Chain A
Amino acid sequence: MTTARYRDALKYGAIWVFILVELAFFSIAGEFMSTSDKAFMDFDNMLLLLKQSAPIGIIALGMTIIMINGNIDLSVGATYALAAIVLLDSMTWPALQAMGDWAIPVAWGLALLTGAVLGAINGLIVWKTGVDAFIVTLGSMLGYRGLVFMINGEQPTSHLNWTLVDFAEAQFLGLHTATWFLLITALALWLLMTRTVHGRNAYAIGNNREAAVNAGIRVGPHMVWNFVLIGFLAALSAVVFYSESGSVNPNDGMLFELWAITAVVLGGTKLTGGYGSILSTLGGVIAIQLLRKGLGHIGAATETVNLVIGLILIAVLLLDRQLNRKGQEELKI
């Protein structure tokens, strides 16, 4: 009991400590190196940071569930792009044009449905063929991207709906619309994973799939629902982002899967499944965004962000390994 608590506190808590360290570092370093005279921990700056975390963040939250369940999804970036195109393109259809502002919920619905369907396709293939999720989603990452180009062509699609932009830029209780989506998603998924039978079974499947099967848990449907969920969330992320930006390039969303996985791993979720926390992933997402902004704040070239994040990811792994070592008595294999 105590060892588990201790380890949980360490693994899930580490990311928040890391965020505090980042905040302190960039605040202090910013005093000496910043090009602007604004403080780093400026309130507006932090609000903006949360807003900017939302697109990757919403996807990373879904990725957490997929990884706890023992799978991985490399196709989220392509799903994101496809949902964005459906969102913007559908609003130009005559049928929707005629609906006035009612076109917005319909377009949202179509985009979210697209995401859910793409997720379901991944999930069903993984379930029914028994091919590893890594390979299936590696394939659909290419395939869905191909669909993006087929529907959209090679040119960007733009459509600005000002009602939608107003909604996206609104602030409620000081937080931006995108931030609300991020926080509500986090809360909903946290409840899902800690309180519901589906969530607990997802943990059990990721932890010991054979045991779950033996206990009569239907592994397949759980997996499919989780893929539907991440497809839906990738679409939600697109909906939130493109409502404001109004323009999508067919290459958008590339490498999102890598950012999302990085955030999840920073949050302490086990790659092999069965262990992880939604809230820590939220921490991972914020930590990455903080790093991006912080490096900009202290005048580091934007190019170094990738370098630093990559190295931090590796450092986290090294640290994790050192903490888990059993010392000198360990078997050297």
Chain B
Amino acid sequence: MTAPIPVLRLEGIVKTFPGVRALDGVSLSVMPGEVHALMGENGAGKSTLMKVLGGIHAPDTGQIFIAEEPTVMTSPQQAKAKGVVFIHQELSLADELSVAENIFLGELPLKSFGRVDWTKLYADTDAILKTLNVGFDAKTRVGDLSIANQQMVEIGRALTVNPRAVIFDEPTASLTDAEKVVLFKVIADLQTKGVGIIYISHRMEEIFKITDRISVLRDGQYRGTLTTADTSEDEVTQLMIGRSLDLSRNTSHHALGDVALEVRGLCCGKLFHDVSFALRKGEVLGFYGLVGAGRTEIAETLFGLRTPRAGQILLNGQEVKITSPIEAIRHGISLVPEDRKHQGLVLGMNCRDNMTLPQIDDLTAGPFVSDGAEVAIFDHYRDKLDIRTPGWHQTVGNLSGGNQQKIVIGKWLSMRPQVLIVDEPTRGIDVGSKAEIHNLIRDLGAQGYAVIVISSEMPEVLHVSDRIIAMFSGRVMREFTSEEVTEDNLVQAISGIEANKFVEGR
């Protein structure tokens, strides 16, 4: 009996771009039937490594081996022909086309005169869908599928060849728990067929649930490979950032002020129902729940972006009607939105202009914008939030995720809000900036701001909140103080176990 050889092996990969050493001697091997996690902060080199593997970038030095055979990758298609398949984080599907056309995108079977061989196409697709065990057929339009089912189509693409290695890039980013279970089963099936899997994710709990080994990159350098069973989250984090991240439970106590915001029986169609809560000055209120539980929609309603069907919103005891963001801002409500690039910032504008946008009407000298007043605000919050940028004229799109997020936070702090809502404050942000933003939110509470934090990351919610509201399927399931909350009762509350309901595919 011979020892199994790795399905895929990278040896000493170096890749430099002008001014940056993106990969500095990275090695990695994936055994048949193994799930191998690849971890690292944003910018650590994971995506560059995958681009080298997919033939998009040629490595400066180093070698790729498929089943120990040296191979030069030239394109994702060639990689696929060699059995190395990528499943991308951003779904890349043509949603107006059928499932079959998407699965065989770029490789539709041909008949004479350039015609599509529909019979073969549907037969081949049905065979693939059968192995995935999904509940839709080959002719379904992809745009009509749920996100999870679209992910299945994406996975189906990988199965048009007999893959040796499949690379999953953040596959669970937009999946519900129930949908994740299906995904993990597909991964397990691939494993039993001897396929090697590279699994890229930031989510520790998943990594520890499904992977066999974990390789870590930091600053383009290979930091080591750990056996999942023998390591801990802390050890992995240390490798990733060179120190551990403080995500201890929030235990600080300071005196709370009057009720700043009260919501009574707020409803908005199918999105959420009968939501009531109160928020005091100096309090950080966490909203925790799955994607689609209605948290973001509540925030958008409070910010005047959605019209509630019923219910009241009271600010400092006075009922208010908020029909637009302009009115929300006038009432002292600010929202740091979840989608920074599309909702938070005008990426082509400079740092200063982005920061002063909501109050530009007030920063005037005569009819003109006052440069001095603007720069003063920018300087103040740059120092206060430690925003690292060459200057206010820097285009925001060129900043790191963490600094971008600080610009958005600065924009709203400069409005001196009564209520600050922060939706997914650390999404897509490196671990270092994460800690800074957590501290910032804690400080805002201590300074007397009334803050709502919406997050899908449990440690984050536990770390920053004084009180936590658990949501499931558009309803408030339970409210916890920071003393009574445990990870177990929080998971129960948001997964609908208490409501005796199941998550349905969207």
Contacts and interface: CB of A to CB of B under 8 A. Distances in A.
Q: Are any A and B Cβ atoms less than 8 Å apart in their complex? A: yes
Interface of A: 1, 3-4, 195-198, 200-201, 203-204, 207-208, 210-212, 214-217, 274-275, 327-333
Interface of A is mostly: helix
B143 A4 contact: yes
Contacts of A204: 94, 97, 101, 105
B324 A332 contact: yes
23 contacts: A1-B144, A3-B144, A4-B140, A4-B141, A4-B144, A197-B110, A197-B116, A198-B114, A200-B101, A208-B93, A208-B94, A210-B92, A211-B105, A214-B92, A215-B77, A215-B106, A215-B107, A216-B75, A275-B96, A327-B269, A329-B270, A329-B306, A331-B306
B309 interface: yes
Interface in B230-278: 268-271
B360 to A, nearest CB: 19
Interface in B438-470: none
B106 A212 contact: yes
Given A198-B114, A208-B95, A332-B305, A216 B107 contact: yes
B99 to A, nearest CB: 10
Interface of B: 75-77, 88, 92-97, 101, 105-108, 110, 113-116, 139-141, 143-144, 157, 268-271, 300, 304-307, 309, 324
A332 B271 CA distance: 14
B144 A216 contact: no
Contact of A196 (B106, B114, B307, B324): B114
Nearest to A275: B96
Given A200-B101, A200-B116, 7 more contacts: A1-B144, A196-B114, A197-B110, A197-B115, A200-B108, A207-B97, A331-B306
Nearest to A204: B94
A156 B252 CA distance: 88
Contacts of B309: 328
A212 B94 contact: yes
Contacts of A215: 77, 92, 105-107, 157
Contacts of B143: 4
A329 B268 contact: yes
Which 8 A-B residue pairs are closest in the complex by CB-CB distance? Answer: A215-B106, A216-B77, A211-B92, A207-B94, A215-B105, A4-B141, A329-B269, A216-B106
Nearest to B268: A329
A212 B305 CA distance: 34
Contacts of A217: 105-106
A1 B139 CA distance: 8
Contacts, number: 88
B306 A203 contact: no
Nearest to B342: A333
A275 B101 CA distance: 14
B306 A332 contact: yes
A111 B140 CA distance: 43
B105 A212 contact: yes
A210 B106 CA distance: 12
Contacts of B105: 204, 211-212, 215, 217
Contacts of B94: 203-204, 207-208, 211-212, 274
Given A204-B94, A208-B92, A331-B306, A196 B144 contact: no
Nearest to B118: A195
A207 B96 contact: yes
Contacts of B115: 195-197
A329 B296 CA distance: 13
A203 B108 CA distance: 13
B106 to A, nearest CB: 3
A25 B12 CA distance: 76
B438 to A, nearest CB: 28
B108, B113, B309: which has the most chain A beta carbons within 10 Å? B108
A1 B140 contact: yes
A243 B109 CA distance: 41
Contacts of B114: 196-198
A212 B143 CA distance: 16
A328 to B, nearest CB: 6
A275 B143 CA distance: 12
Contact of B269 (A207, A212, A328): A328
A331 B300 contact: yes
B309 to A, nearest CB: 7
Nearest to A210: B92
Contacts of B140: 1, 4
B292 to A, nearest CB: 13
Contacts of B107: 215-216
Given A197-B114, A216-B75, A332-B306, A211 B141 contact: no
B159 to A, nearest CB: 14
A235 to B, nearest CB: 23
Nearest to A209: B94
Contacts of B307: 328, 332
Contacts of A196: 113-116
Contacts of B96: 203, 207, 274-275
A102 to B, nearest CB: 30
Contacts of A214: 76, 88, 92
A225 to B, nearest CB: 11
A154 B34 CA distance: 75
